[in-house]
Amino acid sequence: MTESEIMKKKIKVGLLGLGTVGTGVAEILQTAKGRNPLVSDIELVRIAVQDTSKKRCISIPESLLTQSALEVVDDDSIQIIVEVIGGIEPARELILRAISSGKSVVTANKALIARHGEEIAKAANDAGVYVLIEAAVGGGIPIIEPLKQSLGANRITQVSGIINGTTNYILSRMSKDGSDYQEVLKDAQELGYAEADPAADVEGQDAADKIAILSGLAFGGAINRERIPTKGINKLQSQDITYANKLGYGIKLLAIATAIGDNKETASSLPLALCVEPTLVPKEHPLYGVNGVNNAILIDGDPIGEVMFYGPGAGAGPTASAVVADILNIAGVQVLNNSLNSLDPLLSAAYWRDCHLVEEREILQKNYVRLITEDSPGVIGKIGSIFGDNDVSIQSIVQFDANDIGAEIVVITHQVKKGAISNSLLSIRELTEVKSVEAHMGCL
Ligand code: HSE
């Protein structure tokens, strides 16, 4: 191949954002040796940053930098736009503008895709371009492409897992050291694992964005992101981790999406139960050993059974690995084959039916409940009767401690509707012997 043929083959990429992930992407593209030969066909030609004069940890030719994102999006020589600025606006507008000018897009922006994924996918399909999002969920773990392609033959019945690295790091440390939430959060921020404003991670919103995206792909219908019941780890007490451990469980922030029924129904809209919350995970469960910033996603499907995807769920390198994989996919199928307007159906975004979320009260789960009560005769009996009256079957009930604050009672229920547990806890709170319902969470 002559040099001019090689030059002609180069695929030109514009980058929006040069933060942690953007820097990771630039680093991979600058060091192509030893990677797939296609990496050396990718050329980073323009980068939009907030401040062109800022000192950077990698060397980037100044001529590539601009403070105008529009200059990058509107550059006619660019075929692929990589959006790693995050947030809803201006990311949404920039992506739609890139699509309308015939550019494919790679984005790690889970908040945007969870809320505007349908609009963006439609625009991309209409324009005959791709919007690929491997980096939006699970950091470096390949999960989006397997859901679109390798698992396509299956009827998916459940997607569940640990999909937030920051909270998994915090919970792992709390469990290992017996430290308090606030103390570990401070350490995590100092180590750069948690953001200065950790709200989206610790309140579970980041995990809710991600399970919305995974469910849309797994079940084939757009998910109403705002309706996902979401609880974070910010109210979790170390006492519950200690008790969970004594009972043979760990506590993880789980995101769970389940198809109601066996997903064979032909009803016009598939009912789904989705939630994000701290959950007790038994020691023998595959998610129990997933610690630190690692993520793991379990997919249950027919006929495959259960598969688990595990790996680093956050960080510059892993996330950049996923971004560059998407660039290579687009380069391979579209740019090099010059196949604009004929999208590969396994790579493009497609919903093929409607899905809807069932009411939170209808979601089935096992429960962990910790109560502080008076240490007096008959208390456990009264609590048991209230659960019984609400059709809640108890798996175990243990009084852990009786001290000057009272007795601590931990109940694990069998699987029941969330509504039945809520009703029970309302009545239990009314008992004069019950001082407080200190904790309530799900249990596998
Ligand atoms: N903040 C996310 C996490 C990483 O902690 O998992 C990016 O998705």
Cα of 201 vs centre of ligand 1, distance in Å, is 7
CATH homologous superfamily of 3-139+316-351 equals NAD(P)-binding Rossmann-like Domain (3.40.50.720)
Mean pLDDT confidence for 77-98: 97
The per-residue pLDDT for 6 is 46
Could you tell me whether strands 155-162 and 249-259 are parallel, antiparallel, or unpaired per DSSP bridges? antiparallel
DSSP state of 197: S
Instruction: Give 401's pLDDT tier (boundaries 50, 70, 90).
Output: confident
Nearest to 231 by CA among 365, 407, 139: 365
Q: Any residues with Cβ below 6 Å from ligand 1, and which?
A: 164-166, 201, 206, 313-314
- Whether residue 7 has pLDDT greater than 80: no
How far apart are the C-alpha atoms of 73 and 15, rounded to whole Å?
9
Q: Which atom of ligand 1 is nearest to the CA of 163?
A: 6
- Is the pLDDT higher at 402 or at 115? 115
- In order, the DSSP letters of 258-315 are EESTTS----SEEEEEEEEEEEEEETTSTTTT--TTEEEEEEEEETTEEEEEEEE-SS
Nearest to 207 by CA among 282, 87, 111: 111
Q: Which atom of ligand 1 is nearest to the CA of 136?
A: 8
**Dmax (CA) of the chain:** 90
- pLDDT tens for 265-309 read 666 899 999 999 999 999 999 999 999 999 999 999 999 999 999
Instruction: Find the Cα–Cα–Cα–Cα dihedral 302, 306, 307, 308, rounded to 10°.
Output: 140
Instruction: Find the helix or strand (DSSP H, E) in which 368 lies.
Output: strand 364-373
The per-residue pLDDT for 336 is 62
Question: Domain extents for the chain?
Answer: 3-139+316-351, 146-312, 361-443
* Chain centre distance of CA 29: 26
- pLDDT tens for 301-317 read 999 999 999 999 988 99
The per-residue pLDDT for 315 is 87
Cα of 314 vs centre of ligand 1, distance in Å, is 5
For ligand 1, atom 7: residue with the closest CA: 314
How far apart are the C-alpha atoms of 128 and 198, rounded to whole Å?
37
DSSP state of 372: E
Angle between helices 316-330 and 20-30 (to 10 degrees): 60
The per-residue pLDDT for 25 is 97
Cα of 384 vs centre of ligand 1, distance in Å, is 40
- Whether residue 337 has pLDDT greater than 80: no
For residue 417, the tally of other CB atoms under 10 A from its CB is 18
Phi, psi (degrees; rounded to nearest 5) at 373: -130, 170
Instruction: Find the helix or strand (DSSP H, E) in which 186 lies.
Output: helix 181-190
Exposure string (b/e) for 363-384, b if CB count within 10 Å is 16 or more?
Answer: bebbbbbbbebeeeeebbeebe
The per-residue pLDDT for 191 is 80
- Whether residue 8 has pLDDT greater than 60: no
* Percentage of the chain lying above the pLDDT 90 cut: 85
Q: Which atom of ligand 1 is nearest to the CA of 207?
A: 6
Nearest to 383 by CA among 433, 442, 441: 433
Cα of 401 vs centre of ligand 1, distance in Å, is 37
Q: Which atom of ligand 1 is nearest to the CA of 193?
A: 5
- pLDDT tens for 13-48 read 999 999 999 999 999 999 999 999 999 999 999 999
Mutate to test the pocket of ligand 1, among 133, 141, 201 (most ligand atoms within 8 A of CB): 201
Cα of 192 vs centre of ligand 1, distance in Å, is 12
Mean pLDDT confidence for 171-199: 88
For ligand 1, atom 4: residue with the closest CA: 314
Cα of 269 vs centre of ligand 1, distance in Å, is 31
Mean pLDDT confidence for 104-121: 97
Fold of 361-443: Alpha-Beta Plaits (3.30.70)
- The chain-wide mean pLDDT, for the chain, equals 93
pTM value?
Answer: 0.95
Please write down the long-range contacts of 117-122, taking CB distance under 8 Å and 24 or more positions apart.
117/213, 117/216, 117/222, 117/349, 118/222, 118/351, 120/92, 120/95, 120/96, 120/349, 121/348, 121/349, 121/350, 121/351
Cα of 267 vs centre of ligand 1, distance in Å, is 35
The correct CATH number of 146-312 out of 3.40.50.300, 3.10.20.30, 1.10.468.10, 3.30.360.10 is 3.30.360.10
* Percentage of the chain lying above the pLDDT 70 cut: 95
How far apart are the C-alpha atoms of 19 and 316, rounded to whole Å?
9
Residue with tokens 């598969």: 307
Known catalytic residues? 210
The per-residue pLDDT for 346 is 86
Instruction: Give 192's pLDDT tier (boundaries 50, 70, 90).
Output: confident
Mutate to test the pocket of ligand 1, among 20, 163, 206, 291 (most ligand atoms within 8 A of CB): 206
Mutate to test the pocket of ligand 1, among 134, 166, 173, 293 (most ligand atoms within 8 A of CB): 166
